[in-house]
Amino acid sequence: MTSEGNKIVAIASSTGGPKALQELIPLLPSNLNAPLTLVQHMPAGFTKALADRLNDISQIKVSEAKDGELLEKGHLLMAQGGRHLNIEKTASGQHRIRYSDEPHREGVKPCANYMYESLIKSGFQEIVCVVLTGMGADGTAGIRALKEHKKVTVIVQNEETCTVYGMPKAAVKAGLAPHGEDLKTIAREIIKNVGVR
């Protein structure tokens, strides 16, 4: 287990995501040595209920992210539906959530590409990008750009356990991940990559 604390887990999911997240997130320990962010494609008004549900069944803290909220280890902040989530480094070296209102991208809002691209200018040295079930290719362009600037580990869900093998397949086809994993393995890989406190 590594002990450096300068890491983040950034998750993207779409169709079938709520089910996958309810299986994956409870497998993560409360003392995970990294903050987590999540873009789940959902319209405004639906994300808070999912965040509350995940919080109820998980060891880590889960909440819908508020604009300006600081990232904390062992706390998953989920993008609000209908707003693009960005991660911004503060003057004091912490990181906070900033929402932006660009148009839909990849046909979705929030779009994970914005989240991943915002991490290029962050102070995080290592980023674990997790791409779960979903239609389309959201996440691939953002992760590709991020990899040019940061140490990135990409973990994607396998076809067998996906509701729609679109977003993970796009990441594999782009050469960002060698193959997909089931959700239990993804949880183990996250823990292995960021460690515990």
Tell me the domains of the chain and their CATH numbers.
7-194 (3.40.50.180)
Active site residues: 14, 41, 138
Q: How do strand 7-13 and strand 95-100 relate by DSSP bridges?
A: unpaired
Of 135, 133, 175, nearest to 154 (Cα)? Answer: 175
pLDDT digits (tens, 9 = 90+) for 115-172: 999 999 999 999 999 999 999 999 999 999 999 999 999 999 999 999 999 999 999 9
- Percent of the chain past pLDDT 90, that is, above it, reads 97
Structure tokens at 137: 């290719």
Backbone angles phi, psi at 120, to 5 degrees: -60, -40
Task: Tell me the whole-structure pTM to 2 decimals.
Answer: 0.97
Report the pLDDT value the prediction gives residue 142, as an integer from 0 to 100: 98
CB within 8 Å of 11: residues ≥ 6 apart: 21, 36, 37, 38, 39, 76, 129, 130, 131, 132
